[in-house]
Amino acid sequence: MEQEIASQIVGLGGASDFSLWSLFVRADFVVKFVIILLIASSIFSWALIFDKFKLFKAINKSTEDFEKKFWKSKSAESFNSNLPSNSKDPATLIFKAAMNELLKTKRQSSAIQAARVERILEIATDNELKKVEKNFTYLATIGSTAPFIGLFGTVWGIMNSFQSIAISRNTSLAIVAPGIAEALFATALGLLAAIPAVVAYNKFNSDSRRYFSKIDNFSKRFLSII
């Protein structure tokens, strides 16, 4: 172990290239693993962010169109029969589930109908909520753990720098600068992965609550009609 560190000191002492790639290449196995993990987490979180952004944009527009058409329609049954069978709009799917139950209980009393339709509306809304909020926990996990993973890489890199000082018995900044730079690079990556994930998680949580509040209001108005 000491021979490996000593052999690295020569390279570290003369290292003047502080580009991101050089910092990665010079880092030891543990710091490299931390860097790769944080980069992968950042890419995954950004993929989720773009996916959820597109999702909320699409369902907000489709639900707005759905409500406009519903309140202009002559009857709920005729409107239901004209809905596309392959729609992915949550409001449409919730309404269709409620209408199917309403048609099944058509010969029963209005109180029983309303109770069963209300139950179906709750179940369908919950199912759609789970679909919309799928993978939210990944954003929350990345946002909460990435800084600590980066901090672990930083501590490990600084430990290696102190080992380099002890072995070489040289306190020159040229000995420790590369190791400290690699360590701080891990911290920066941790923050780079965490900050967008936290901001996106908070935004999408707010968007989800606002969207399903709209769905809940529509469900109550639909029940009042029944």
Q: For 59-88, what is each residue's pLDDT tens digit? A: 999 999 999 988 888 888 888 888 888 888
- Tens-place pLDDT, residues 128-157: 999 999 989 999 999 999 999 988 888 887
Question: Mean pLDDT score of the chain, rounded to an integer?
Answer: 82
Rg (CA), the chain: 28
The first and second tokens of residue 7, run together, are 């052999």
With a cut of 90, say whether residue 50 has pLDDT above it: yes
Phi-psi region of 87 (alpha: psi -120 to 50; beta: other; left: phi over 0): beta
Instruction: Supply the pLDDT for residue 201.
Output: 95
CA 102 – CA 96 distance, rounded (Å): 10
| 101-118: average pLDDT | 81
Q: What is the mean pLDDT of residues 48-53?
A: 94
Q: What angle do CA 153, 10, 166 make, to 5 degrees?
A: 65
User: pLDDT category, 5, cuts 50, 70, 90?
Assistant: very low
Longest C-alpha distance within the chain, in Å? 91
CA dist., res. 80 & res. 51, Å (int): 29
Is it the case that residue 19 has pLDDT exceeding 90? no
Reading the block at residue 38, the tokens are: 């944080």
Length of the chain: 226
Task: Write out the DSSP string of 173-197.
Answer: HHHHHHHHHHHHHHHHHHHHHHHHH
- What pLDDT band is residue 11 in, cutting at 50, 70 and 90? very low
For residue 36, count other CB atoms closer than 10 A to its CB.
12
pLDDT value at 20 more than 60: no
Contacts of 29 (CB under 8 A, 6+ apart): none
pLDDT at position 89 over 80: yes
Mean predicted confidence (pLDDT) in 26-45: 84
Mean pLDDT of 121-133: 92
Surface-to-core class of residue 220, CB atoms within 10 Å of its CB (0-12 exposed, 13-18 middle, 19+ buried): exposed
CB 34 within 8 A of CB 146: no
Question: Is residue 25 predicted with pLDDT exceeding 70?
Answer: no
Lowest-confidence segment of 157-161, 185-189, 198-202 by average pLDDT: 157-161
Whether 221 shows a pLDDT value over 80: the answer reads yes
Percent of the chain at pLDDT > 90 equals: 39
pLDDT of residue 48 exceeding 70, the answer is yes
